[in-house]
Amino acid sequence: MRRIGNLVVRRSKLILFGFVSLVVLSSFWGFQAFGALKGGGYDNPNSDSTLVTELLQSEFGVDPAEVLVLVDLPSDADETDANGFPVHFELVQELSADLLDIEGVDSVLNYYTLGSPPNLKSEDGKLIYLLVDLDNKVDQTPVVAEIVDDYTGDYQGAQVHVSGFGAVTKAINETIYEDIIRAEIVAVPIVVLLLIFVFGSLVAAGLPLFVGGLAIVGSFLIIWIGSQFTDVSIFALNLVTGLGLGLGIDYSLLVVNRFREERAAGNDVATSVSNTVASAGKTVLFSGLTVALVLVSMVFFPQYFLQSFALAGVAVVIFAILGAAVAVPAMLNLLGDRVNSIRLIKRDLAPKDTGAWEKIARFTMRRPLPVLFVGLLFLASLFSLSSSVVFGQSDDRVLPADSPARVASDMLRERFEGRETSPIEILVKGTDEQVNEFIDVVADQEDIVRVAIVPTQEESDWVRINAITDLEPRSPEGLEQVVALRSLDVEVDEYLIGGGGAYYTDSQQGIEQALPIAALWVFISTFILLFLFTGSLVLPLKAILLNVLSLGAVFGLIGWIFQNGELQWLIGEYSVTGTIDTSSVVMIALVAFGLSMDYELFLLSRIKEQHDAGFNTVNSVALGLQRSGRIITAAALILAVTFGAFASSGVSIMKMLGLGIAVAILLDATLIRGFLVPAIMRLLGGANWWAPKWLKRLYEKAGLSH
């Protein structure tokens, strides 16, 4: 880092121009990412449910309809005219023909052309639906958009609604895009005011925004490249904007603050920049690596919804590190003391060794046991709220209640017997007698409305069976039903369970199976990095345990809010399903864990400096907290505002992500870093820095102790 600092001093203009040019060039392709991302990604591709879908396509030629067009007729669908002909036949046929004329639509099947099957008609007889299959060889996004935009509403006296995966995905994508714009409109002015208050000058306040903006734009290129090779979730954009702005600001705060310290100590500009990169730059590097390694753990989960966040997170971290540890020092070398220009707040901008955080640290360390007891009791109280949490997964109900796609899906849910559009797909191998006995066993299961063989002209060793359930497929009850069906004691050669409920079950179980591996990766990688940073085996263990306690408290709080429907007066209305989304909980945990380690490194870097300079534990902690507390608090407030703005989203899981990460950040920056860390370090004393002698020698030999 010292060599990099010296290089930055010698080549400031070239480095700054190169970094900005790289990001500007990447924006030409990066902004294409908005049209390349997808709204799904919750399913497990390595599961029985996926195998069933593949077999249905290969063995039976089944291509599930991407769009369901619901037609709410003025009267009963089977009402006839004087000639005994259905009065709504022509209306439905004309609508089918209009839909078929849309480029990209492969086929349209409706209630009448399929022989008026009861399962395509609602219980009140007025609502029927059309199955619209799209061409898989073309981009389906504009096709779905045309269907939704042109046909939702009145059609010859009937009311048309559009549902299905394509329509719901379109609605989620559009809502998130609007939410990102609204969140930035809300967050950026508040962030600017906070930066001006923290830095005191307009020029200095502009540097973090500069880095954050470039980190966001640069990350779009990585996401776009990734989308050319694999599926990437639309939700990755939220992480990029929130984390890019937040980390860019966090790291720039640290660097600018350290530069001011070096100048206040009497060093010239070049020396100050070099020292800043060697000290704050090292902290930025380790902090970024920690966040990146934590987010990488999402690749262990089978769902591309979570894997997308690994890609987005690593991209953001890389650009944030380059911006804060290289580009900002280059700008500081060019600006010098002009970084303090356009002073809006008249105060001494040089950091102080005494102040509020130093007093808080000494107060805590004079009575560590009571502080520790109260703090842990508070965390335990919040964690206890999670005792009744039920985990589930997202469906169309993440959308606002008045969203057209949500309205259409609610009609399917409320006006049809069972979940006609989400049957349990069963493939069976066996003799005719075995298959018939199997059907009888399935039909006798609780909450199964009916079971029937699906006729097919295709030759296959498999027999296709549909079972209609009256349970919500993507629910804990749906999961229990699928598990029970897969555990049936029946004499057939083989059978597979697929369909919506099976997708949900396999996804939940996929997360459960991957969670221990991901957690092990997070704990081991952060433990190693923190050891390399501190030379202690105790401090990494302490940091991990405190983070786990903090996350437990956050889970309890978000479970209480979103499972029970609390605080809607504050964060806006959302659908209460009685569960909280498992994938979102995983994301909150990993992002919050990474950011918490970020602040841990901010604090430990300053405490270690004092310890290495010969100060005792009390003075090292007090001075370290004073020098880092203001930065940690400001960074946490800014990140909390950035992510908290997403709590205004119309998509309920984005509300949970925004609120959950914001609460985790604020809790960590106040209670954990301000009180519990000083209390524990005071109790441990010299043991804080313990490591075996042979490990200490290796640590010092590697040059990591300075």
- Ranges assigned E (strand) in 352-488: 391-392, 424-429, 448-453, 463-469
Residue 546: what pLDDT?
Answer: 92
CATH of the domain at 489: 3.30.70.60
Q: What is the spatial distance between Cα 184 and Cα 191, in angstroms, rounded to a whole number?
A: 10
Residue 486: what pLDDT?
Answer: 92
Structure tokens at 131: 């199955």
Ordered strands of the 494-499 beta sheet: 448-453, 463-469, 424-429, 494-499
Residue 68: what pLDDT?
Answer: 87
In a domain, 520, yes or no: no
Find the angle CA(376)-CA(377)-CA(379) to the nearest 5 degrees: 65
Q: β-strand 580-581 against 391-392: which pairing, if any? A: parallel
Q: Which domain holds residue 453?
A: 404-505
Residue 516: what pLDDT?
Answer: 93
In a domain, 313, yes or no: yes
Q: What are phi and psi of 557, to 5 degrees?
A: -70, -50
Q: Give long-range contacts, CB 8 A cutoff, 24+ apart: 223-230.
A: 223/30, 223/33, 223/37, 223/311, 223/312, 223/315, 224/29, 224/30, 224/32, 224/33, 224/36, 225/29, 226/308, 226/311, 227/33, 227/36, 227/37, 228/36, 230/304, 230/307
Pick from 498, 428, 500: which is nearest to 464 by CA?
A: 428
In a domain, 336, yes or no: yes
Residue 94: what pLDDT?
Answer: 93
Pick from 282, 254, 261, 273: which is nearest to 534 by CA?
A: 282
114-145 pLDDT per residue, tens: 888 877 888 888 998 888 888 877 777 788 88
Could you tell me the CA-to-CA distances from 582 to 49, 410, 485, 505 in Å, in that order? Answer: 19, 22, 23, 12
In a domain, 433, yes or no: yes
H helices, E strands: number in the chain = 24, 11
In a domain, 243, yes or no: yes
* Residue whose structure tokens are 């900002």: 328
Q: What is the spatial distance between Cα 632 and Cα 364, in angstroms, rounded to a whole number?
A: 18
Say whether both 211 and 131 belong to one domain.
no
Say whether both 3 and 73 belong to one domain.
no
* Residue 659 near residue 642 (C-beta atoms within 8 A): no
In a domain, 565, yes or no: no
CATH of the domain at 269: 1.20.1640.10
Say whether both 208 and 92 belong to one domain.
no
Q: What is the spatial distance between Cα 279 and Cα 529, in angstroms, rounded to a whole number?
A: 16
Q: What is the spatial distance between Cα 297 and Cα 311, in angstroms, rounded to a whole number?
A: 11
Beta-carbon contacts of residue 10 (< 8 Å; ≥ 6 apart): none
Regions of the chain with pLDDT less than 50: none
In a domain, 117, yes or no: yes
Say whether both 228 and 342 belong to one domain.
yes
Say whether both 328 and 427 belong to one domain.
no
Q: What is the spatial distance between Cα 562 and Cα 575, in angstroms, rounded to a whole number?
A: 9
Say whether both 84 and 156 belong to one domain.
yes
Q: What is the spatial distance between Cα 327 and Cα 273, in angstroms, rounded to a whole number?
A: 11
Say whether both 121 and 263 belong to one domain.
no
Say whether both 236 and 332 belong to one domain.
yes
Say whether both 28 and 75 belong to one domain.
no
Pick from 5, 13, 596, 7: which is nearest to 281 by CA?
A: 5
The number of domains in the chain is 3
Residue 484: what pLDDT?
Answer: 92
Say whether both 252 and 345 belong to one domain.
yes
Last residue of one domain, picked from the residues 137, 163, 189: 163
Q: What is the spatial distance between Cα 330 and Cα 255, in angstroms, rounded to a whole number?
A: 11
Q: Which pTM was predicted?
A: 0.83
Say whether both 409 and 456 belong to one domain.
yes
**Length reported for the chain:** 706
Q: Supply the DSSP string of 306-340, one letter for each residue.
A: HHHHHHHHHHHHHHHHHIIIIIHHHHHHHHGGGGG
Residue 418: what pLDDT?
Answer: 59
541-565 pLDDT per residue, tens: 999 999 999 999 998 999 889 888 8
370-392 pLDDT per residue, tens: 999 999 999 999 988 877 788 87
Last residue of one domain, picked from the residues 467, 483, 505: 505
Last residue of one domain, picked from the residues 321, 350, 379: 350
Q: How does 693-703 read in b/e, with b if 16+ C-beta sit within 10 Å?
A: eeebeebeeee
In a domain, 264, yes or no: yes
CATH of the domain at 101: 3.30.70.1320
Say whether both 204 and 340 belong to one domain.
yes
What letter represents residue 547's amino acid?
N
